[in-house]
Each structure stands twice: as C-alpha cells, then as structure tokens.
Structure 1
Amino acid sequence: MPMYILSNDEVQTFHNDGYVIVRNLFSAEEINKLYSLATGDDVVKNNAFDLNDQTGKKTKLTLWFKPGNDLYSLLIRSERMVYSAAKLLDSEAPVCHFHTKLMQKEPKVGGAWEWHQDYGYWYKNQFLFPDQLISIMVALTEANKENGCLQVIKGSHKLGRVNHGFAGEQVGADMVMVNHCLDTMEHVYVELQPGDALFFHSNLLHRSEANLSDRPRWSLISCYNSLSNPAYNDDSTAWKEPVQVVPDEMLMQSEAVGASNEGDFLRKENDPALKESGWEKEVETKL
C-alpha cells in the first residue's frame, strides 16, 4: 500500500477553509479492526468521563497523552497521520502528539458539543502558537446530521482566538462572535463515512448536536503539536516528544492490542481548560 500524504491542493484547502476532508484515509478493514477493539476495551471504558452540555446531556470521551504500541497508537503514529500533519503545521520542527480523544456519542443520550475552538481550550494550557496545533478526526462509525456530526464555520480560523467561557461543563465560544460568523461565513455539516478523516485548524469554530438517533457516533481525534510550540501550563510530556513514526501497514499487521492500564489518561479534574480563571463569566456562550 503506497504511503498517503496530503497533496498540495489539500494543504491549500486547509489554509483557505481551516479544514480539509480526506475520504478513505483508513480502509474499512482497518476501521473495523479498530472499532471492534474499542467497543470492548475495558481500559478505555474505565477511563472515560462525561462532560455535560448546556441541557444536561452527557458527552463521553477517553483522552490520553502518550502513544504506545497498542492499536490506537499505531494509527496515531502512522505515516499518513504524522507526515500529513507535518505539511499543515507552521513549523519545520518535529511533530509531537499532544493527545488523542476517543469520542463515544451513544444513541439517544450522547450530548452536544457547544461552539468552540480547540485553542479556546488549549490557550489555558499556555501553548503559544495556534498555527502549530492541529486536530485530525477519524470516523469510526458513520457521522451524519441525524447522529450529531461535526459542524464547522468555514474560514473561521482566520479570526484568531475568540473569547471562551463555560457552557455546562464544557468550554464555549463567545456567541456574539459566533453569530457574526454564522451571518458572514458558510456553516458546514461534516458528514463522514468510517475511515474518512477531517483535518482542522486549532482556531476553527466547530460544534456538534446531540445524538438523537438509534446509531452510535464514535471517532478518534488526534491532536498534534510542533516541538517548537511550548505549553507553559501543562503537566503532560507527549507534546514535547517527537512522534516515533511507524509504517502504515503496521495497523493491519499487528495484533489487536487494546489500551494499557498504565496509559497516561486525562482526569477531568486535572484539565486546565476546565478551571475557573475569572474572565469566563464575561463571555456569553448560550445559543
């Protein structure tokens, strides 16, 4: 299988729009192997936590920092992920892995994510350069309007960081600015098939609605950082350790090994983004 890296046209789309969609970045066989493992992984389940949206519905996720040798990490460390991220990050420094989230939006009960920028969270980790942070979301199940797929505001990364406050237990963007963007820019529903990937800028405004369907929506979101981008308020270490890249074929050639209990998992109470700074109360985050 030839190695896939984003084309120059895809890179240009990313810089223009704040995101780019790559269809079939991972094969059906690769996704089936990963999703089958994830749904039965007790370590992932036991390290999951909920964040309430503004209506009280719960969004469930498991977040870890340092990639290892499990099946998830072989995706995180794969050539197609890391080398494509390198083409989008505004730095020649090595690519590091900040964290990966396994998003578990269950049927009927999976809550919404409010409008936000990822850098609205990571600003509190005191990363300096938002252009040196990127997220790659890989769909493990179909994502559509019915089950609460991601929504983005095309080109909104060009605003820079918008003020954020608390929205339920989440961090939400200033809705005055969000509404200006919605009046000015294109609102896009990002519908994906399993194996499709969305590359998006840390300042792209995005949200998702609750999953009111009968089908789950699961995805992996891996966040990468340039080694030249320090975080001055973050106790994790993966963000300053270059990724040890593995060949793409490893995902299918390796045994389906799940997460380890020794994994470097986030505890909700330790997340700097969820701690009160004082100025959050001045930001209107309600729709």
Structure 2
Amino acid sequence: MNSPTNPFTAEELERYQEDGFLIIRNFCSEAEVQRLYGVALEDDAMRKNAMDLNDQSGKKTRLSLWFTPGKDPFGYLVRTRKMVSRVHQLMGGSSPVCHFHSKLMQKEPKVGGAWEWHQDYGYWYKNQFIYPDKMMSVMIALTEANQENGCLQVIRGSHRMGRLNHGFAGEQVGADMVMVENALKTMELVYCELQPGDALFFHSNILHRSEANLSNHPRWSLIACYNTLDNIAYSESSPAWKIPLETVPDEAVTDWDFESLSKADFLTKDKDPALKETGWESDVKVN
C-alpha cells in the first residue's frame, strides 16, 4: 500500500532498486507544465545564465544550473510534498532530503547536442560526496521527449556496477566506454520517452546518455538533483546540499505568487568542479 508519506508501492520500490530508474506518468499537471515552461521561456535570468556545453561533435547543449530553490515555480516544484516524499522514500527514508541543484536542459531543434554516456556520480564524485545511494535526480519533461529529439537513454540496472571512471568528452564528462560497452552487452538499453509532465526518477550511478536533437521540435526538461543530510560533500562550495528542504503544498506551483529567477545562485562554467582536470581523466577511454 502507498500513503502520503510513502507514495510508492513495494513493487515500485523494488523496481527502482533493481532497474535504477522509475517513470511516473502525469506527475505534473498540464497547468503546472504550462507555468513552468512559460517561466523557462520568459524569465530572462534563464537565458543570461545558460551555459553552452559542447559534445564531442561540437554541437551545443544549453543548461542553466542553480543551487538554492527560490520563490519561483521551479523552486516550488522541487519542494512540493509529492516530490520530496517520493525522493525521501527512494533514498531510504532515514535522513532529511536536501536539494543539491536544479538545471533547465534546453535542447533546441537541429542544434541541440548529445550528452555522452555518464553517471551523475561521475560528476559528483569530484564534489567528494560519500554515498552515491543517497543521491538521485528527477527529470520533469516540459516538452515531449522521444527518440527523434534525443530523449534520455538508460542502461537498466547499470547503477549496480558502482562508479565507473570518467574522463572528458568535449566539454562534458564521459564514462569509460570499455565498461559502457560491456554494460550494453549485458543489460537492456531503454529509451525513456516522456510526455510533458512525466517524471523520471533515477539513481546517481545509472548510466545514461542522450542523442543530439535533430528534429524540428525543442526538448526542454527540468532535472532536480537531491542529496540526504547525512551524505557529506567534502568539496562543494554551495551549502544547498546540507540544508533540509521545507516542503510546500503541491498547488504552490500553479497558485502561489512567484519571483524572478534573477535572485538564483547560478553556476558558471569556470566554477564547475566536474570540468576541472584532476590528473587521471586522460587515461579513460570515452569514445
């Protein structure tokens, strides 16, 4: 049975633990998606603070990344009871949930670049978080995501491999392709096709990637990344990862007044620890 504090059933929890991901259809209502996407398009702070990251072919993916959830529809969504209760349950339910960061992914038609095979913990390992099982991400589709426009691909169950070595792939961080190819021989490749409002919950160690957007339609999504209070980061300058979230009602996204994201603490490319050389990346085969 599920409940407001434990919304996932035992079967859903088992599937997440085995597969490393879980798709929840219609997690956000049409009204919530309309407000989120409207702010994404209209709030000038998103455009001014977007980073262009090149893939290995030179195509660009734009993302805007910020740490502290504010009084805006995105800040409300990541703190809603329906979101925090699910994240809390999937990460074991033993420690308060903290918000590490959120990012708006902006893959434009014809030019939006690919994301190479990687694990999120392949990035976050450089922040020196201790426990990958106590970190996860939630992707909310703001537009349709399908194979044509480069939807997320995951390797089912690959989170159980543990952290793989990662090197640089263009301006991204990519996983050791020898082990990725072994995983693809062993486990199922899944295309996570989403409709606007669908949510994809996924473990910090699951291998995932996406193709370039060669379609005529944009693919925009929000990815909220979470940590638990008892999971220490020994090399992270933003304090958001250790601030327990105060939840807000689910209706806050659509009903509450909101502020601009201009007050958000956005990340800039030059301050991203994942993109800094540590000495061992060149030994990793990423293509």
* Range of TM-score over shorter length: over 0.9
Q: Deviations over 1:55-90 (max 9, x none)?
A: 000010000000111111010110111110000114
Question: What is aligned with 1:282?
Answer: 283
| 3-state SS of 2:102 partner | strand
* Structure 1 runs not aligned, ≥5 long: none
* Structure 2 runs not aligned, ≥5 long: none
Alignment root-mean-square deviation, CA: 1.2
After TM superposition, give the deviation of residue 6 of structure 1 in Å: 2.6
CA contact (8 A) 1:38 1:44 kept: yes
Matching of residue 36 in structure 1 with residue 38 in structure 2: yes
Question: What is aligned with 1:248?
Answer: 250
Alignment of 1:211-230 (within 5 A): 211-230=213-232
After TM superposition, give the deviation of residue 254 of structure 1 in Å: 1.2
CA contact (8 A) 2:73 2:254 kept: no
Q: Distance in 2 between matches of 1:55 and 1:6?
A: 40
After TM superposition, give the deviation of residue 236 of structure 1 in Å: 0.4
- TM-score for the superposition, normalised by structure 1: 0.97
Aligned pair partner of 2:60 in 58, 70, 87: 58
Aligned pair partner of 1:68 in 67, 70, 74: 70
For these two proteins, the number of residue pairs brought into alignment is: 284
Q: Distance in 2 between matches of 1:7 and 1:24?
A: 17
Question: What is aligned with 1:270?
Answer: 271
Q: Deviations over 1:104-132 (max 9, x none)?
A: 00000000000000000000000000000
Aligned pair partner of 1:94 in 77, 91, 96: 96
Alignment of 1:1-287 (within 5 A): 5-90=7-92, 92-255=94-257, 257-259=259-261, 261-286=262-287
| 3-state SS of 1:33 partner | helix
Q: Distance in 1 between matches of 2:242 and 2:175?
A: 27
Identity over the aligned pairs, expressed in percent? 61
Q: Deviations over 1:5-28 (max 9, x none)?
A: 333222111101000000000111
After TM superposition, give the deviation of residue 91 of structure 1 in Å: 5.3
Q: Distance in 2 between matches of 1:258 and 1:138?
A: 20
Q: Distance in 2 between matches of 1:91 and 1:230?
A: 17
CA contact (8 A) 1:33 1:256 kept: no
Q: Distance in 2 between matches of 1:55 and 1:33?
A: 34
| 3-state SS of 2:263 partner | coil
After TM superposition, give the deviation of residue 253 of structure 1 in Å: 1.1
CA contact (8 A) 1:99 1:224 kept: yes
CA contact (8 A) 2:4 2:85 kept: no
Q: Distance in 2 between matches of 1:137 and 1:265?
A: 19
